[in-house]
Structure 1
């Protein structure tokens, strides 16, 4: 008997991509597939808490987002507020009048749930998720910590020590130094710049201050609770109203005042002795989501530096090799928005990277985006938006963020169509208006003794 062996021939990627007539042509993109968005039912409770609920089946889970405006008071307590707020967020889940830390953790774990707390100059946010069937238990724990968290002395002392250590590590990081310098450069001494307290400020906080801040500022009036998942909206609204009936206050949550508008100007050179890298951070005014020109600005930003195939990334990473990553994007602030441009580069190419960044900003207006560039950016914008909404957590976070801006799910439904309707000419207009180098200010963090002469020679740089 003779065995016959059939030889297997493996083709290379180049061979697969070609035919006898030449390279294979890619098929055109098909129509954008819409992601069905649920209706959002809304109710404002007598306490002033705004509740948003959306039914999103698929997995038997529910996502929770509670946003409480948490700005500093307009009095002598403003300076210490960030430190006290950080400790409040760290100890909110460490004990109540009826549950200790272990009890809270065990009760949440029993229904497959979790809760986490974060705070910044604008808001305190409680985020979590759990099994849909366990929503009453999740709401019970949430109500308990909102109304009777005790912030035990021992827990405050323990978290205070940990927080001081974390802040010490964070403040030594170049990105933290650059972020703080940028915030001061564009917003001066506005409270929005106080994103991280100092270790000394945290160390000085007493448990009584944490408990006093909870009583004064962690209030329902002006807050927004968003729930998305495999839940019945009507029944969920009733559950929330019952569970949070005891969370009341005569005061409203404190909204952060709008920061001053960005003033274009020179970059500030921030000296970081011994640094082998430089952090380049530029910023300019931008638009909020409800502005008719937001969609053209969004596409112009993508063409410039908003995704991997952008002009700036192609220049400073793919062509020049100055950096591993470069990114631009819109950041929303109270009553406004700002455009951010950032990259980290080695010290010896800092001046060259700054030169190429300014070149690409100017080129975006002088050599407007082509139809191909706009179409690629549009496909990315629509696709990434739909992907971000294709799960309960992404939808909950987006609905919560939009609600804080006074927008609803209709904005989400209509935004892909707005992006599809943007013309190349509108993108060119946005590029010329918002990406002109003269519209920017910012900071350059690095060893001034190494990079100073080179960047100053380019002009528009002040500092040591």
Structure 2
């Protein structure tokens, strides 16, 4: 970028203790840095070059894509990552923005050229599409000077930005039970998944409380059952995944292969119970307290606060969304949560995904009486 190659950028940032990070996600991408305030000017100079004057050299492209292909190849050895790829492909369809993994697929990744990357960057990474978040000991006047000095040359193109596609709707028809074969694996990753809600849905903050009781903490129902009572796993969790469009509900665990079906039965039972009866008074008190603790922990560091503000920007939510959401959670009534749990946690609508040895897990899954298990690849495609 600018007058620096990749090595020079890395060296100069390291010399002043800057941590640079990038990510690509379902609803957008990020470029960020953490820096001591006294080095902010120098760091912003380099940051500005990265954003406005990228090199896209053939040498860097070859190095980066080799690393990328290796990461995609290794993903097949990570059963939790495979389960994530498969469940999203099953819920949304493999060729949609939410069904296709943001990290890519090996076959299609190798078809992307350097010219494709240059063209995409020019079309998409532009100032009229960017949100800048700064958290730290810097006032607005000083910040404006830095932004003008180091990003002022980032000019909006004369052409309009590419239209932002609408978020995909979940498929109405999908397999009931999907298996990805991992021969001889001593553990299976099991997941129950279904369409969730948009992050902007008024009920989203309250469903966070429901999930906290079900699978959002160490003392939640799923973890207490599968880990503490049965000793089948090191941890069982659930979540409503935040997205601009309709997200997903996921409950998952890595369990001993021999108890794959038994673990799924217990997960279904716990979800059905909370959908039927809601939270106990004790649980409601606990998840309210947990909500306040989580708010404090998210906002107690500059990194945590800036990351959350970027989350909200990518979700098209205002910066004060969390404060309003927490007030709503603190005022939640048990009957509200019971109604939402019943509406959004129907296990009969959930797809089961299992990553494990098919010879051992398929006979177990047939006994669940949820239809014939179908085999998929680690890349989220049915086995032909």
Same fold (TM over 0.5): yes
> Contact 2:199/2:244 (CA < 8 Å) preserved in 1?
no
- Which stretch has the larger CA shift, 361-370 or 419-428? 361-370
Q: Which moved more, 1:383-392 or 1:213-222?
A: 213-222
Do residues 116 (structure 1) and 21 (structure 2) align? yes
Q: 1:411 and 1:120, CA in 2 relative to 1: closer, same or farther beyond 3 A?
A: closer
Aligned to 2:98: 192
Deviation at 1:112, TM superposition (A): 2.9
Say if 2:357 is the partner of 1:450. no
2:4 maps to which of 91, 96, 99 = 99
Who is 1:241 aligned against?
148
Match among 18, 28, 33 for residue 128 of structure 1: 33
Q: Is the 8 A contact 1:192 1:259 kept in 2?
A: yes
Aligned residue number for residue 172 of structure 2: 263
CA RMSD of aligned residues (A): 2.2
Q: Does 1:433 align with 2:343?
A: yes
**CA distance 1:234–1:438, shift in 2 (3 Å):** farther
- Structure with bigger RCO (C-alpha 8 Å, 6+ apart): 2
TM-score (ref. length: structure 1): 0.74
Greater strand content: 1
Give the alignment partner of residue 63 of structure 2, picking from 133, 158, 172: 158
Kindly report which structure 2 residues correspond to 1:18-417, keeping only aligned pairs within 5 A, or say none. Answer: 96-188=1-93, 189-195=95-101, 196-248=103-155, 249-250=157-158, 251-252=160-161, 255-261=164-170, 263=172, 266-417=176-327
Moved more, 367-376 or 98-107: 98-107
Quickly say closer, same or farther: Cα 1:419–1:200, change in 2 above 3 A.
closer
CA 1:287 to 1:204, structure 2 compared with 1: closer, same or farther past 3 Å? closer
More helix by share: 2
Task: Tell me the equivalent position of 1:28.
Answer: none
Q: Structure 1 residues 399-408 or 385-394, which shifts more?
A: 399-408
Q: 1:200 to 1:425 in 2, by over 3 A?
A: closer
> Is it true that 1:423 corresponds to 2:329 in the alignment?
no
Report Cα offsets for 1:362-389 as digits up to 9, x if no partner: 1112233111111111111221121111
1:450: how far off?
Answer: 0.8
Unaligned runs of 5+ in 2: 375-384
Q: Report the more deviating stretch, 404-413 or 343-352.
A: 404-413
Unaligned 5+ runs, structure 1: 1-95
Would you say how many aligned residue pairs link Structure 1 and Structure 2?
369
| SS of the residue 1:102 aligns to | helix
How far is 1:289 from its partner? 4.1
With 135-144 and 115-124 compared, the bigger mean Cα shift is at 115-124
Q: Give 1:229 shift.
A: 0.5
Task: After TM superposition, give the deviation of residue 218 of structure 1 in Å.
Answer: 2.0
Q: Aligned partners of 1:200 and 1:296: how far apart in 2?
A: 40
1:102-135 deviation per Cα after TM superposition (whole angstroms, max 9, x unaligned):
3222332344323222224532211211122322
Q: Secondary structure at the match of 1:336?
A: coil
